[in-house]
Structure 1
Amino acid sequence: MTTDMPARMLRLLSLLQTRREWSGHELAERLGVTGRTVRRDIDRLRELGYPVEATTGHAGGYRLASGTAMPPLLLDDDEAVAITVALRTAAGGLGGIEETALRALAKLEQVLPTRLRGQVTALQEATSTITWESRGPRADATTLTLLAAACRDHEIVTFDYTTRDGTWASRRVEPHSLVASGGLWYLVAYDTARDDWRIYRLDRLTAPSPTGRRVPPRTLPDPGPDPAAYVAAKIATAPVRYRAVATVHATADSIRVRTWALASRIQPISESNCTVDCSDDSLPRIAQALATLDTSYTLDADPAVVDYLRLSATRTLDATGPA
């Protein structure tokens, strides 16, 4: 039982920020107090400016909603706008902090007043950043935020999805988690129509829409429960257009530190040699992956890969001039 009231209220606020809605019974169990104590603590949060709403339904509940003013987070309006825009930018692709920024963004936008949402949108639309083509397709920050909330709340969403061969169809899924890998974002979800787990690239996903229907959380199949490991395993075994496997004259550990290939695609075959599966749908990406090996290797690849590599080598030699 949490007897320290300030600590209990901070715990209560943290719980309200991690899920869209809690029943009074659930909160009482988590905090180890009575329902009456929860109601008093909710009233204290409201007095401090936190917009906690009571919900209807079986046994009733509570949720943290958008308020008419920012709750006392030691942020003024300008600071709240600046942080929200920065988090949106980071969640959209600033390397290394995407997942942390997305979690913080979901919490902040949940209580952002309507008048500030307009400022954030205006500033976002009036600014732009340089995107290098080599970084590949990027996910939309609004889509990331919507799907992050759906994963948190176990809420079914619908969207349109374009596959790698260009066909598209509507999807209805139970979102589980978001995973960032190699500059791309993936949604791990249970597809209700196919009655199976699927992985969706967010840059191929459009018109996401929450349905308002929540379902019990599902457990990932093998090699779950780690979503990142699940996505890595699926990507490593997914069908690709071009096959290219290099036998590298270097240790697997030394290759892992200088290539972006998934760890599951690097396999040791002796103390001083390993194989690296660089297979991909893109010939330029295969060439880039092989270049990062930075050591001698032999290659087992499709004829199209060999032809492309020879053409690239010829262009490089021509560009450097006579020896």
Structure 2
Amino acid sequence: MQKTSSRLLALLSLLQTPRHWSGDDLAERLDVTPRTVRRDIDRLRELGYPIRALKGPSGGYRLGTGWQLPPLRFDDDQAVALALALQSAATSPAIGEDAVRALSTIRQVLPSHLRQRVDMLQITAVTSPGTGNASLVGTQLLMEVSRVIHACEELRFDYGHDPTGPAEHPRRTQPHHLVTWRGHWYLIAWDLDRADWRVFRADRIRPRTPTGPRFTPRDLPGDGVAAFITGRFRGTDGSTADWPCRGEVILNLPARAVAPFAQDGIVEELGPDRCRLSLGSWSWTGLAATIGRFDTDIQVIGPPQLTGAFADLAARYANAAGTTRSTPAPGADTSR
């Protein structure tokens, strides 16, 4: 039997997987009795891990969400993936500083063999022609604006080009969407004083407190957020590409994580861990392949051609995965 400390770490690793575990399953995996599992669950709870008990014939457990972030445990592959993701995020204008600090924290506790794997890959940010003047927006500002949007509270803020200089008259708005496009974060809101829709650069917003009363959201005109944003900017900077194939999907990733890799796509925040991505390409297959590089579940909003392209790619990838390796590829080294 494992020592208690090793067994607790193994139990925590199992509970971090996105599934329910019965007490019997955990006992079998850890080679202990169900009674020992119950005691270990209590120990983890005392350490601050929010473990939920599930009712049923055999009972069950899963790791829930809590009010604080307890220590986590990652296997080798997860630790390397997390470090590389943070290294990529460090190139983002919006969350680069926070990502660098998080990467430094992770790197300090990595075993030497994992640290060497991470250090072998150095990522350099290459700015596309349309995003040379990407705006710097603090994480705290994005979180506060997002909170007000989801709470349907009026937002008052000063707005100006220079964050340290004089601002325009305070704006009173009903915020509706927080989106990112071509390196900039934008707030779409109904301006109460002007009685019209407005698009505000997030890096020029200085919120005032307290926020205003709650409101009932009104419908955004047009065919959605992507069409609204591109319509407002079309012709003003010449940067909107009229792609022959354009689709929309929902990704189970934060908008801040998707934005740096969305090229000229439009990313709409839907929640802490969900966003809507509108992206264009020269072909439906190319569009599906581009979206597929995000390592998460994908929900296709439309159009049907994009759904068909995903099906075609899935068949091709399944065929490639089932290909035997009895015949070496041309030019392959067969000397070993």
Report TM bin, short chain: 0.3 to 0.5
Higher helix proportion (structure 1 or 2) = 1
Q: Normalising by the residue count of structure 2, what TM-score does the alignment of the two structures yield?
A: 0.35
What is the TM-score with the length of structure 1 in the denominator? 0.36
